[in-house]
Structure 1
């Protein structure tokens, strides 16, 4: 497949994976409310913890955020095909910077005040990006890397770019791509590894993932066919490292092992997703539009649900289901309102004009 045909194709698998990743993020955040350490990181927690949730949470938490950074880098590649450098910065400022700034002053204070109310604290708010730190990182990456990305785009036939694309279409090329992640893990040595929000670990790891997300798509169909071929190896490696760290290290395994496991899971998801998540659908169209506003809003409804449900004397699994129901219903109900009000749409990352 030549570079021109690559530029015109739309990858519905990446759209689906982005939607699924946002869904997993919501479920993960709901699950934090049932962990005894949740309050320490600013979540409302149930009096009755649900320890069994930690097993799937510990599987997800080392790759779910880096995965979203990969997807964001891929999104920039597609956005560049029809935009100049200035056009890309203007578009990303509208879709990322505006919701980020708006959210810090109109969204984050709400759920922080709910948290303080639940725990009987003084109702005050200090400036904090909260869960929207991710958007701040993404906008920084666009500013830092877009000049390099446009230089690569302008010189796609240059020897170095041709070598990069050719290398990433081969299995050993993935080992080269893994090296920066290993260096980050060893040099920064984050403890815990999954603490990404407003840390140097989260920023540097995200920057590397964002860069390679762009490069993976740049490499064309050969890259996707290669990871599809090796998908079972990635799955076995990720699963094996997960079992190994849980039974051998218990807590705080070496960061370099977590970096390898994280990379393995990410390649697994991309490989299976590219193989089986194909073609457009009405569901994908709707969920792709909803994912961004749902991400921005979800902490408000999660905290409201926790405020209402956790004081009830009901089984913990029923608490989980009810909080999840309130979170998803509140987010999608709000999205249905927001998408119909042109004035509100830009503040939630939606393009202007009322949604259909």
Structure 2
């Protein structure tokens, strides 16, 4: 699971670098967006966050077993998630909306003026709600799911929880690991076909239903390890299904790229294919990790620790670097290379400095020593 988490966050960083180049809206864009970049982006964006919620569910179950009580579990997760969240909102995030306001809305003041006079307005500025958690929405959602899990653990008798877990194992056993979660995702799509993910917590109910499913399955994988046998049975089929579904997604994007509207008949098959691709790929990746990556390496501990600090800082580095590349008129290929180098170097610097200073460690998501 550590290797899955490391790999998923690495892809997330590349994905956010890609956001500088695709036609989709974002904080800062290259002067001439490139339509075809959306295809490799679509290779991951149907499953990368759901996979992270699955891994987080597994890790949360392991932490609960270690701490042995709902209260201690909530206190531990809250300290680990909320302290860096608040630090991120106050210190790390502000350059992102400032650059978006300058580049897309003509904001004329510097960062210090923006932070002091406009950022903490608790309202909208040119349609942007401030202050904001931006990419740290994942931390917010994960904390809420942690509270939900703790409530179940505190209020539902252990005997009832065991019965539910055993029933879920029966449903998910064998091919159920591929079929049941996917059927739940398709039901959510059928009930809320027009919902767009907001990352705003309170108006994002269908997204919560979507992400709670992998979070719960990750938890079940930890408390009922027999489910790994179901993954082992069907992950190869999941890999084939995921690749086939992505082929259709890529075909649609290739034929109706950028802002070109696709015909009405394409819309629902496209969304269904993305869900097929998403869950099938997650099952395949868990199976591959269990079969081939279930081993230690000298770098694993360091990389696993560095993931959260990298996540906190990476998007601000990308947005700031992208802004200066845009102002300098740098072409696409050198921009991509510069963004990769600057992001990796900046993340390592943020992590390396923060991990050596005791009072900084909790602020960047690390435990005190």
The 5 Å alignment of 1:155-304 reads 155=159, 158-190=162-194, 195=197, 197-198=199-200, 199-220=204-225, 222-247=226-251, 250=256, 252-254=267-269, 255-304=271-320
Equivalent of residue 65 in structure 1, options 49, 72, 75: 49
CA 1:225/1:348 → structure 2, altered by over 3 Å: closer, same or farther? Answer: same
Pair 1:27-2:32 in alignment: no
TM-score of the superposed pair, with normalisation by structure 1: 0.86
The 5 Å alignment of 1:12-161 reads 14-37=1-24, 40-41=25-26, 43-83=27-67, 84-118=69-103, 120-123=106-109, 124=114, 125=119, 126-149=130-153, 154-155=158-159, 158-161=162-165
Q: Deviations over 1:189-244 (max 9, x none)?
A: 2455xx46233333221222211221233221x32233223222111111111222
CA 1:286/1:331 → structure 2, altered by over 3 Å: closer, same or farther? Answer: same
SS in 1 for 2:300: helix
CA 1:122/1:206 → structure 2, altered by over 3 Å: closer, same or farther? Answer: farther
SS in 2 for 1:47: coil
**Which residue does the alignment assign to 2:126?**
none
Q: Give, in angstroms, the shift of residue 71 of structure 1.
A: 1.1
CA 1:157/1:48 → structure 2, altered by over 3 Å: closer, same or farther? Answer: closer
Contact residue 63 and residue 263 of structure 1 kept, 8 A: yes
Alpha-carbon separation, structure 2, partners of 1:209 and 1:265:
12
Q: Deviations over 1:22-42 (max 9, x none)?
A: 1111100010101123xx33x
CA 1:216/1:186 → structure 2, altered by over 3 Å: closer, same or farther? Answer: farther
Q: Give, in angstroms, the shift of residue 47 of structure 1.
A: 1.0
- Structure 2 unaligned runs (5+)? 120-129, 257-261
CA 1:53/1:173 → structure 2, altered by over 3 Å: closer, same or farther? Answer: closer
CA 1:81/1:305 → structure 2, altered by over 3 Å: closer, same or farther? Answer: same
Contact residue 290 and residue 335 of structure 1 kept, 8 A: yes
SS in 2 for 1:279: coil
- Structure 1 unaligned runs (5+)? 1-13
Contact residue 155 and residue 161 of structure 1 kept, 8 A: no
Q: Give, in angstroms, the shift of residue 149 of structure 1.
A: 4.4
TM-score of the superposed pair, with normalisation by structure 2: 0.83
Alpha-carbon separation, structure 2, partners of 1:316 and 1:110:
23
Alpha-carbon separation, structure 2, partners of 1:96 and 1:190:
31
Alpha-carbon separation, structure 1, partners of 2:330 and 2:94:
29
The 5 Å alignment of 1:289-328 reads 289-328=305-344
Q: Give, in angstroms, the shift of residue 313 of structure 1.
A: 4.4
RMSD between aligned alpha carbons?
2.3
Contact residue 181 and residue 205 of structure 1 kept, 8 A: yes
Alpha-carbon separation, structure 1, partners of 2:189 and 2:146:
23
Contact residue 168 and residue 216 of structure 1 kept, 8 A: no
Q: Give, in angstroms, the shift of residue 116 of structure 1.
A: 3.3
CA 1:148/1:256 → structure 2, altered by over 3 Å: closer, same or farther? Answer: farther
Contact residue 177 and residue 231 of structure 2 kept, 8 A: no
Alpha-carbon separation, structure 2, partners of 1:157 and 1:335:
39
Q: Deviations over 1:118-137 (max 9, x none)?
A: 55414432211111111111
Contact residue 231 and residue 272 of structure 1 kept, 8 A: yes
